[in-house]
């Protein structure tokens, strides 16, 4: 179906005969695939006798070759799938099947996209960026300390390079614009935590979603399109994201998060804010001071500077908690 969609993405009318000739299949097979586009991917197709078929609006699909060329020196292999349950989950399946990192996987949609702490990540077709990068890590889990902060910094830098100049960082790994979430990050590990392991970096960025979709999101959010006032070619953002990841991950491996701390703090949007740090049912109230060289959050609690870190911690503004 993806090949058919590529022929239709210009938004113009195409006859069933012409489409069949391009793909080497019958007109009836074209019809079945068109039904699949609507039923499985939610893509609206107009059918006009005498004219043929066209999409309700043009699409710009992800293109691995375009992304690779635009990403310049990034040499990670890139693959694009039309639909997956989760790009992170598919990465693990490919690792189990013998695939060797590093490589990048993008999907046009996810049917079971995941965020931190088991949350659902809304993933409509051909609107946003759903990207996973897998890397081999030698030396155990200590090498990935504060890695989510480094990835968040790369995401924010990519968004800013594409015009979203208000993109900022919230500890530990959210990217916000004016208090609304535009991107989230999910890191998962496989292998020996004390020796050689793989880290899967999952990144979701709201690119061209409109304000009325989807209704399932349970927190304030925004998208690149809402920030810029127009749609953005996701291939451009994907290429910029990979370039920023390459640069910032290289610094992280060489210097640790300490080499990026100052740059991260420059984009930290909750510094000086009163927050509630929660772990399960327990909450600690304090004022955000920043982060330390290991990526832990620094809070002033009753006038005393304390640091906290951990994958299950959640930070909220006090009036939201």
Q: Please state whether beta strands 78-81 and 174-177 pair in parallel, antiparallel, or not at all (unpaired).
A: unpaired
298 is catalytic: no
Question: Do the annotations mark residue 273 as ligand-binding?
Answer: no
Enter the DSSP assignment of 202.
Answer: E
Question: Do the annotations mark residue 54 as ligand-binding?
Answer: no
Question: Do the annotations mark residue 86 as ligand-binding?
Answer: yes
Cβ within 8 Å of residue 139, ≥6 positions away? 195
**Phi and psi dihedrals of 106, rounded to 5?**
-120, 150
As a whole number of angstroms, the distance between CA 76 and CA 133 comes to 9
Residue among 181, 225, 234, 243 flagged as catalytic: 181
Q: Report the candidate in 170, 151, 168 with the shortest Cα–Cα distance to residue 252.
A: 151
36, containing H or E segment: helix 27-41
Q: Within 10 A of 287 (CB to CB), how many other CB atoms are there?
A: 17
181 is catalytic: yes
Give yes or no for a contact between 270 and 171, defined as CB atoms under 8 angstroms apart. yes
Q: How far is CA 307 from CA 97, 169, 278, in A?
A: 41, 18, 13
Question: Do the annotations mark residue 170 as ligand-binding?
Answer: no
Q: Report the candidate in 115, 102, 109 with the shortest Cα–Cα distance to residue 130.
A: 109
Residue among 109, 116, 225, 234 flagged as catalytic: 116
Question: Do the annotations mark residue 251 as ligand-binding?
Answer: no
CA dihedral 245, 251, 256, 257 (to 10 degrees): -60
180, containing H or E segment: strand 180-191
Question: Do the annotations mark residue 115 as ligand-binding?
Answer: yes
180 is catalytic: no
Give yes or no for a contact between 2 and 84, defined as CB atoms under 8 angstroms apart. no
As a whole number of angstroms, the distance between CA 205 and CA 209 comes to 10
Question: Do the annotations mark residue 271 as ligand-binding?
Answer: no
Question: Do the annotations mark residue 110 as ligand-binding?
Answer: yes
Which residues are marked as active site? 116, 181, 316
Residues in the annotated binding site for biotin: 86-88, 110, 114-116, 181
């Amino acid at each position: 179906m993806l090949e058919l969609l590529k022929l239709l993405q210009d938004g113009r009318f195409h006859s069933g005969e012409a489409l069949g000739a391009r793909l080497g299949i019958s007109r009836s097979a074209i019809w079945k695939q068109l039904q699949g586009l609507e039923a499985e991917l939610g893509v609206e197709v107009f059918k006009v006798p005498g004219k043929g078929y066209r999409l309700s609006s043009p699409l710009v699909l992800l293109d691995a070759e375009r992304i690779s060329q635009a990403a310049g020196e990034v040499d990670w292999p890139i693959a694009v799938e039309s639909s997956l349950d989760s790009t992170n989950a598919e990465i693990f399946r490919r690792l189990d099947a013998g695939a060797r990192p590093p490589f990048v996987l993008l999907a046009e949609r996810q049917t079971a996209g995941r965020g931190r702490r088991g949350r659902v990540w809304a993933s409509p077709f051909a609107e946003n960026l759903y990207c996973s990068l897998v890397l081999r890590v030698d030396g155990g889990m200590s090498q990935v300390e504060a890695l989510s902060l480094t990835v968040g910094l790369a995401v924010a830098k990519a968004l800013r390079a594409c015009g979203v100049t208000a993109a900022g960082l919230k500890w530990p790994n959210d990217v916000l614009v004016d208090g609304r979430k535009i991107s989230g990050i999910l890191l998962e590990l496989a292998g020996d935590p004390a020796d050689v392991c793989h880290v899967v970096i999952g990144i979701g960025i709201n690119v061209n979603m409109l304000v009325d979709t989807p209704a399932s999101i349970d927190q304030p959010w925004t998208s690149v399109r809402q920030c810029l006032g127009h749609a953005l070619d996701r291939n451009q953002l994907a290429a910029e994201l990979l370039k920023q990841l390459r640069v910032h991950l290289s610094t992280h491996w060489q210097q640790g998060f300490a080499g990026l701390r100052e740059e991260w703090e420059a984009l930290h949007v909750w510094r000086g804010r009163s927050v509630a740090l929660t772990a399960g049912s327990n909450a600690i109230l304090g004022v955000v001071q920043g982060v330390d060289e290991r990526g832990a959050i620094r809070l002033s609690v009753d006038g005393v500077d304390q640091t906290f870190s951990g994958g299950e911690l959640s930070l909220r503004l006090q009036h939201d908690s």
